[in-house]
Amino acid sequence: MPLKLSIEALTGLLFNNAPDGIILLDFNGFILDCNKSIEKIFGYSKNELTGKPLNEFLTEEGLCLFKEKFPLLTDFQSQEEDIEVVRKDGEIVDVWRKCIPLKDDEGNFIGVLVFDRVITERKKTEKLIQNSEESYMSIFNNVSDAIYIQDNDGKFIDVNRGTVEMYGYPKEFFIGKTPEFISAPGKNDINKVTGHTRKAFKGSSQRFMFWGLRKNGEIFPEDVWMNKGKYFDQDVVIVISRDITDRVNLEQILIDAKVKAEKSDRLKSAFLANMSHEIRTPMNSIIGFSELLLNADTEEDRQEYVNIIKTSGHHLLNIINDIIDISKIEAGLATLTKDSFSLNNELHEIKALFSVHKELIKNNIDLILITSLSNEECTLNNDKTKFRQIMINLISNAIKFTATGQIEFGYSVVSKNDNSFFKFYVKDTGIGLSTSEQEVIFERFRQANNTNTNMFRGTGLGLAITKAFVELMDGEIWVESEKGKGAAFYFTLPYTITTTKTKFKPPEIKTDIKTLYNWKGKTILIVEDDAANLFILKAYLQKTGVNIVYVEDGKSAVDTCLENENIDLVLMDIKLPKMNGYDATKIIKQHRKDLPIIAQTAYAMESDIIKAREAGCDDFISKPIYYDKLYSVINKYFD
């Protein structure tokens, strides 16, 4: 499994383990944060440094330079120089320092990002080169940086081993040439480079960034220092060059991480604002129409209010389910439960589910299902629940954006690189998507039609969840569309030929509850401590003629099951006083292992279902409980 790190975790890892010292200053030059390398350079702990002005740790000369440069930073001009730092033990350390100004989204100066590198060894090298001809050649050829000697016109007189290793050319190839051949095309101004050389020859130290070109064609950044010097009594320019690829990459990663983090924060803020709106809208309907229901004048009004409350409740539950799904995906907790099932069965059931959708009926939209395999051949071995959610999300999305025409969905079997795949699709004749909208349609916290949220309600999570589930099931998903010409969503899943055939079952047609579920003579124990939930369960079950016994805690449930042999089935809540539902189930199963126990709980995560199974529960129903689901599950043990 590939390692996945968040932007925040990656930035922290790079910050704390960078070989260069990194300091974050506020807009007044006070230290806000620093990494471990700074603690080594300064000799102070992070706590001792935080809150102190950076200029407190400089020599007098360094302090003057800092005061001169800081106003330029506030004007968003990056600065770099060699400077002397005073350590805690009083030692003065030579440091190369680069300062990058920071600004907020409105362009205001908010601080400085400082990179420090100890250059004591380089300083020593420079002094030795300037003061000691005797040791010059030894140092020249053994220093790891590239060192080359140039005349006033920039022609190479000599180069060291580091230069040969850096560029890949033999030493002889450099002599007599100017730097054009090692300059990356289009990356440097050669006239400026020549100008730097001539200024250095006149005694003015020069420092600049140069993009080098290796013999193998690789382009890389260099930090170049030029100083006037002597080469066997000849006036020359001594150049020290260092490959700074790692530093430049680190700087770019930190900048990119900051941009991505800011973008993520903006998207999450917009998402939270949208969630607040989406949750409050159905809640307003539920609360408002509940109050109206208390004072309804006619039965017709009461029925209308009840229907609105029920619809708003379903909408609110869908929002909660989306939030739970995206949270599991973000946390890496989404898992697969694979099983073989009939594709045609599942798709026909989904079509039956949507056949009564009010928007399809109101707008006279045709819902068409196309299948390419026979009922005996259409077995899919994958996660049935997630497949169903993918199809429902895509069809629901098509309905939302289709005002007229038709929605077609189905599948075919395709081959690629000797592998076979199911290719599923959902096509609509709706408003379609522009190219820019297609680029963000599957992103988390994004909606393609942000400007139309009043017209097209939703959390903006459905397609992000769909994409995550498809990829979790080893598939791919994409969209093809033109603005105003509808959209076609496609996704693939692996097709494995199996000898297990699943029998096709047409969708069930519901009949009267009393006719379909007649459980007279049976006794059900309801274990529930919430009065409202108990009332709902009793109201549902009374229609079946079953005898009802109820208790409010786990201990009473155990006592009742052991004392009353007439209990035929238990509906067990999990979060209970005195003893929880898991422990109660374990004890009951020790004495009555054949007694069916169905967990009925607001804990709805997959891990909760597994925990209930491990405790001994035979089945599981998550709240809110729908009567048809409740009857169907119970009937498995009474039929």
375 found inside a domain:
yes
More confident residue, 606 or 446: 606
More confident residue, 578 or 511: 578
CA pair distance 206, 499, nearest whole angstrom = 77
* Domain match, 388 and 457 both: yes
Band (pLDDT 50/70/90 cuts) for residue 453 is very low
Residue 409 has pLDDT above 90, yes or no: yes
502 found inside a domain:
no
2 found inside a domain:
no
- Predicted confidence at residue 424, as pLDDT, reads 95
**CA-based angle 436:438:440, to the nearest 5?**
80
The residue assigned the tokens 């052991």 is: 562
Find out whether 215 and 168 touch, Cβ atoms under 8 Å.
yes
Please state the rounded mean pLDDT for residues 315-324: 73
Tell me the pLDDT tens digit for each residue of 205-255: 999 999 999 999 999 999 999 999 888 778 999 999 999 888 888 888 888
Please state the rounded mean pLDDT for residues 181-194: 90
Please state the rounded mean pLDDT for residues 451-465: 58
* Domain match, 566 and 431 both: no
Q: Which residues contact 84 (CB under 8 A, 6 or more apart)?
A: 58, 59, 61, 62, 92, 93, 94, 95
Structural domain range at position 524: 513-638
* Domain match, 67 and 134 both: no
503 found inside a domain:
no
Band (pLDDT 50/70/90 cuts) for residue 358 is confident
Tell me how many domains the chain contains. 5
Tell me the pLDDT tens digit for each residue of 150-178: 988 889 999 988 899 999 999 999 999 98
DSSP conformation letters of 166-186 = HH---HHHHTT--GGGGBPTT
Residue 141 has pLDDT above 80, yes or no: no
Tell me the pLDDT tens digit for each residue of 98-114: 999 999 888 899 999 99
Please state the rounded mean pLDDT for residues 10-36: 86
1 found inside a domain:
no
Instruction: Cis check for the bond before 185: say yes or no (omega within 30 of 0).
Output: no
- Predicted confidence at residue 492, as pLDDT, reads 93
**CA-based angle 72:78:84, to the nearest 5?**
85
CA pair distance 489, 427, nearest whole angstrom = 6
269-273, 446-450, 528-532, range with greatest mean pLDDT: 528-532
* Domain match, 315 and 399 both: no
- Return mean pLDDT, the chain: 83
Single out the residue in 494, 522, 543 at which a domain terminates.
494
Cα distances (Å, whole numbers) of residue 530 to 543, 556, 630: 21, 15, 18
500 found inside a domain:
no
* Domain match, 483 and 355 both: yes
Please state the rounded mean pLDDT for residues 338-345: 86
Query: What residues form DSSP beta bridges with 211?
Result: 221
Please state the rounded mean pLDDT for residues 283-290: 71
Single out the residue in 465, 494, 523 at which a domain terminates.
494
- Predicted confidence at residue 534, as pLDDT, reads 85
Residue 360 has pLDDT above 80, yes or no: yes
Which DSSP category does 617 fall into?
-
- Predicted confidence at residue 629, as pLDDT, reads 84
Tell me the pLDDT tens digit for each residue of 473-530: 889 999 999 888 899 999 999 987 655 555 545 545 444 555 578 899 899 999 988 8
11 found inside a domain:
yes
* Domain match, 453 and 471 both: yes
The pTM (predicted TM-score) of the whole model is 0.46
CA pair distance 180, 230, nearest whole angstrom = 24
More confident residue, 303 or 548: 548
* Domain match, 469 and 344 both: yes
Band (pLDDT 50/70/90 cuts) for residue 567 is very high
Residue 452 has pLDDT above 50, yes or no: no
Tokens of residue 414, six digits: 């395709």
* Domain match, 355 and 396 both: yes
Band (pLDDT 50/70/90 cuts) for residue 598 is very high
* Domain match, 481 and 345 both: yes
- Predicted confidence at residue 488, as pLDDT, reads 94
Single out the residue in 243, 269, 286 at which a domain terminates.
243
* Domain match, 484 and 519 both: no
- Predicted confidence at residue 129, as pLDDT, reads 62
